[in-house]
A and B are shown apart, each in its own frame.
Chain A
């Protein structure tokens, strides 16, 4: 009777996802449909146990939080630069490019700073995979299924020492804002989405104070 040798997690290689181009020979890419199935089960699981919309969002966010903490360590390790981010702008760039690339295969579509509030930033994604296959019924109102991703962002920022409150919003896409090729969504073949996901990141006061002190 033969048994497959189980290797310890500490012996397995971590892979070089940032080194390769799109396709990977080591098979570390997960199909979108597999993710969509698992994610829909996750959402339904929490939906059955949450009593209100905000509780459901909180549950999704805390599910993503643990992922964010681990993704931070993994992406930083794979970058192989032994550098951490200590400044606000650099951690936001790290999130919107490196973390997004590692998770979704592309950079976030834009990173903006709010004009009204100095402590608010927005990361925009035109096609977030967490809500691509989700239709929100009217009685759930403003729920965004991307709460999972905002949990991931919050985990990454908290782990790096920049505590922040991250929320996900669906905002209608303006005419002409989209620069995707005509004919709809090239990834899944679905028609172009009418709304984009905006992740609002609001940093806590002490983070801003510390960053201002470092500026000098």
Chain B
């Protein structure tokens, strides 16, 4: 089952962080065509996220979009930063736990006085931890 998982953090204007995780090897991978398609699917779900963002006051928005056999799940932080996950049908609880862990890392990252809110995340430590969490919860 080669369904790579795509995790993107989107700010108000642009993506802040992207990680593609291959369920088999746990590293980046996948050919270019499916990668581009995945990005497209995920970004087109942003409209739906915006729409449902104001109707609920919970942070975890569950599955907002279903395309073919893939689903887009979203988590919204208090500062309206969107964590989006494109996956092939993982269970709700695993996805929620993954989001909570990444949320913790994100809040800690934003405590860095040199990290400006809504700017791309370039920290390698952050990326390593996100990948480790993905391997732990989603593989």
Q: B58 interface residue, CB < 8 Å from A?
A: yes
* CB atoms of A14 and B108 under 8 A apart: yes
Closest-CB distance, B21 to chain A (whole angstroms): 18
How many chain A residues sit at the interface, stated as a range, is 20 to 34
Instruction: Please judge, given known A-B contacts A69-B79, A159-B79, whether A84 and B59 are in contact too, CB under 8 Å.
Output: yes
Closest-CB distance, A6 to chain B (whole angstroms): 12
Binding-face segment, B2-10, B23-31, B35-43, B109-117:
B109-117
Which residue of chain B is the closest to A13 with respect to CB atoms?
A: B108
Instruction: Please judge, given known A-B contacts A9-B112, A10-B109, whether A77 and B58 are in contact too, CB under 8 Å.
Output: no
Q: A112 interface residue, CB < 8 Å from B?
A: no
Q: A83 interface residue, CB < 8 Å from B?
A: yes
Q: B91 interface residue, CB < 8 Å from A?
A: no
* CB atoms of A159 and B78 under 8 A apart: yes
Closest-CB distance, B46 to chain A (whole angstroms): 15
* CB atoms of B79 and A160 under 8 A apart: yes
Q: B80 interface residue, CB < 8 Å from A?
A: yes
Across chains A and B, the number of contacting residue pairs, with CB separation under 8 Å, is 80
How many chain B residues sit at the interface, stated as a range, is 20 to 34
Q: A55 interface residue, CB < 8 Å from B?
A: no
Q: In the complex, what residues of B have CB within 8 A of residue A66's CB?
A: 113, 116-117
Interface residues of A in 41-73 (CB under 8 A from B): 66, 69-70, 72-73
Which residue of chain A is the closest to B130 with respect to CB atoms?
A: A10
Instruction: Please judge, given known A-B contacts A10-B125, A73-B77, A161-B80, whether A82 and B100 are in contact too, CB under 8 Å.
Output: yes
Closest-CB distance, B50 to chain A (whole angstroms): 10
Tell me the bound Cα distance from A10 to B112 in angstroms.
10
Q: In the complex, what residues of A have CB within 8 A of residue B110's CB?
A: 69-70, 73-74
Q: In the complex, what residues of A have CB within 8 A of residue B80's CB?
A: 84, 159-161
Which residue of chain B is the closest to A11 with respect to CB atoms?
A: B108
> Chain B 72-85, CB within 8 Å of chain A: the 1/0 string?
00001111100000
Q: In the complex, what residues of A have CB within 8 A of residue B90's CB?
A: none
* CB atoms of A73 and B112 under 8 A apart: no
Tell me the bound Cα distance from A8 to B111 in angstroms.
12
Tell me the bound Cα distance from A196 to B20 in angstroms.
53
Q: A102 interface residue, CB < 8 Å from B?
A: no
Q: A24 interface residue, CB < 8 Å from B?
A: no
Q: B1 interface residue, CB < 8 Å from A?
A: no
* CB atoms of A10 and B105 under 8 A apart: yes
Closest-CB distance, A152 to chain B (whole angstroms): 13
Q: In the complex, what residues of A have CB within 8 A of residue B60's CB?
A: 82
| Partner of B54 from A74, A90, A210 at Cβ < 8 Å | A210
Instruction: Please judge, given known A-B contacts A10-B109, A14-B104, whether A73 and B54 are in contact too, CB under 8 Å.
Output: no
| Partner of B78 from A9, A12, A160 at Cβ < 8 Å | A160
Which residue of chain B is the closest to A79 with respect to CB atoms?
A: B78
Given contacts A66-B117, A159-B117, 16 further A-B contacts (CB under 8 A): A9-B109, A9-B111, A10-B109, A10-B129, A70-B111, A73-B78, A77-B107, A82-B60, A83-B58, A84-B59, A84-B77, A86-B54, A90-B57, A159-B79, A160-B80, A214-B54
